[in-house]
Amino acid sequence: MPRLLQVLQLTGIILAPGVWGASLIASHFAGGIYTLSLTTSSNTTGTLSVTSQTSGCGTTPGWIELYADSRKLYCFDESWTGRGVIAEYGVATDGRLTLTGQVRTTGNSVHGLLYGGADGRGFVATAEYSPSTVTTYKMPLTASAVLQLEKFTMAQRGPNPRQDVPHPHEVHLDPTGKFILVPDLGADLIRIFKIDASSGRLSLCSEAKTGAGDGPRHIKFWKSSAGLQKAYTLNELGNSVSAWDVAYPSNSSSSGCLTLSKTQTLSTYAAGKTGGPMTKAAEIRVVGNFLYASNRADQTFGAQQDSIATYTIDPSTGVIAWLEAANSYSYYPRTFQFNKDGTLVAVGGQTSSNVAIIARDPATGKLGNLVANIQVGQKGRAGEEDGLSGVVWVE
C-alpha cells in the first residue's frame, strides 16, 4: 500500500480518487504556529484549511526548520526584547504539533539549525541579527545553556544605511555537514566556520567577500551530475543573486577550510528592470537545475502581488541565466518551499499573511497557476516584522 494512503487512513482522512492530500506548517510573527491541510486535484485546483494552532515559540516566531525523518520541528524566536526562545515540537502524521523542548535565548534569532554530534543533530546554532552574534547550544534543549557565542565587529559602516554593524542572517550547513556558513548582511561577508563534531565548537576558518552593498542574506548549494559544486547567495540589499565556486580542503581531516570564489552576480529582475525603493530580496531555493529568489514589495504583478525570479542552472558549468519572473500570489514573500517532487511550491506572504500553493512544471522550472490560497493569522504592515514568517511542507 502506498505510504501516503497509509498515512491518510491512519489519520482518518479519506480522499476521493484523483485527489491528493498534504500537510504544511506555518509560523506567524504574532506567536502562532499553524498546521495546514491541503487537498488538490491534478495540481490544478485545491483547498487549504487550518487544522490546528499552537504556541510555545516566544513572542515572535521568525524561522522554522523541519526534520522530517525524526518528525521534529524547531522554531526560532526573533523577539527584539532581549529575551527569546528556541522551541522543539513533535510532528504527528497529520502535522499537529506537541511542544517537546524549549530553551531561553537572548532573542533576535533570525535563523537556526541542528548540526554536529554523532548523528548531525547534537547541537543547535542560531544567527542573531542585531546583536551581531552566532550562538550555539547543546542538545537536548531542555537542558541547554549557551555553548559558544561569536560576536562580530567591523571597522567601518558599509555603503547601505542598514550596514551599520554586522548582521548575520543565516547559519547554513554545507552538504558534508563539516562547515557552517553565515551570510552577513551588514559586513558583506560569507563567514565560514569549521565544525568540531564531538564538542560542537565552531572555528572561523575562511571569509568570502561579496560585492559592496550586496547584503547577503541566505545561501544554497548545488552539485552537478559530474560532481561540480557551486553555491548561490541571495543578496537582500543588492536585489541580486551570486554564484560561487566551492573548494574543499584536499584532506578532510586537515585544518583546511571550505572556500568560496565568486563567479557571477545577476539581478533578481529581468534585464532593463529594477525594483522599487522598498524592494528587498528575501529567500533563495535550488530545485534540480533551477534557482529561485523571491522579491518583496515589487508588486510586479499588480497591487500586493510580488514576484519570484527564476533562473536556469547550466548542468555542466553551474552558470545561472535569467528565465522569468513569476507571480508569488502574495505581498512580501518572505519564505517559500517546494514539495519533494517539485510540482508545487508553498509561498508565505509576510505582509499579506497568506500561504499560496503554486503549480510548477518540473521540466521547464516555470511556476504556473495558483492552486490554493489561505490567509493565516492577522495581516502585517509593509516593511514591519509582523505577518507570516515561515512555511514548510510536512513530507
b/e map of 239-270 (b: 16 or more CB within 10 Å)? bbbbbbebebeeeeeeeebbbbebebbbbbbe
pLDDT tens-place string over residues 148-176:
999 999 999 999 999 999 999 999 999 99
Contact 27, 376 (CB under 8 A): no
The one-letter code for the residue type at 319 is V
Nearest to 346 by CA among 319, 376, 316: 376
pLDDT tens-place string over residues 174-217:
999 999 999 999 999 999 999 999 999 999 999 999 999 999 99
Predicted TM-score (pTM) of the model is 0.94
- pLDDT value of position 254: 57
Residue for grid cell 499553524: 34
Q: Helices (DSSP H) in the chain: which residue ranges?
A: 3-10
- pLDDT value of position 252: 53
Distance CA 135, CA 97 (A): 26
- pLDDT value of position 41: 82
Distance CA 379, CA 88 (A): 26
Dihedral of the CA atoms 298, 301, 304, 306 (nearest 10)?
A: -50
Distance CA 276, CA 266 (A): 17
Q: What count of Cα atoms within 13 Å lies in the side-chain half-sphere of residue 159?
A: 9
- pLDDT value of position 17: 45
Q: Going residue by residue through the chain, which has 395 residues, state the pLDDT in tens, using 9 for 90 and above.
A: 344 333 333 333 444 445 557 999 999 999 999 999 999 887 689 999 999 999 999 999 999 999 999 999 999 999 999 999 999 999 999 899 999 999 999 999 999 999 999 999 999 999 999 999 999 999 999 878 899 999 999 999 999 999 999 999 999 999 999 999 999 999 999 999 999 999 999 999 999 999 999 999 999 999 999 999 999 999 999 999 999 999 999 865 557 899 999 999 999 999 999 888 899 999 999 999 999 999 999 999 999 999 999 999 999 999 999 999 999 999 999 999 999 999 999 999 999 999 999 999 999 999 999 999 999 999 999 989 999 999 999 99
321: part of which helix (H) or strand (E)?
strand 320-327
- pLDDT value of position 306: 98
Contact 394, 25 (CB under 8 A): yes
- pLDDT value of position 142: 85
Residue for grid cell 504574532: 30
* SS3 label, residue 38: strand
DSSP for 158-206 reads -SSTT-SS--B---EE-TTSSEEEEEETTTTEEEEEEE-TTT--EEEEE
Cell numbers representing residue 214 in the block: 550586496
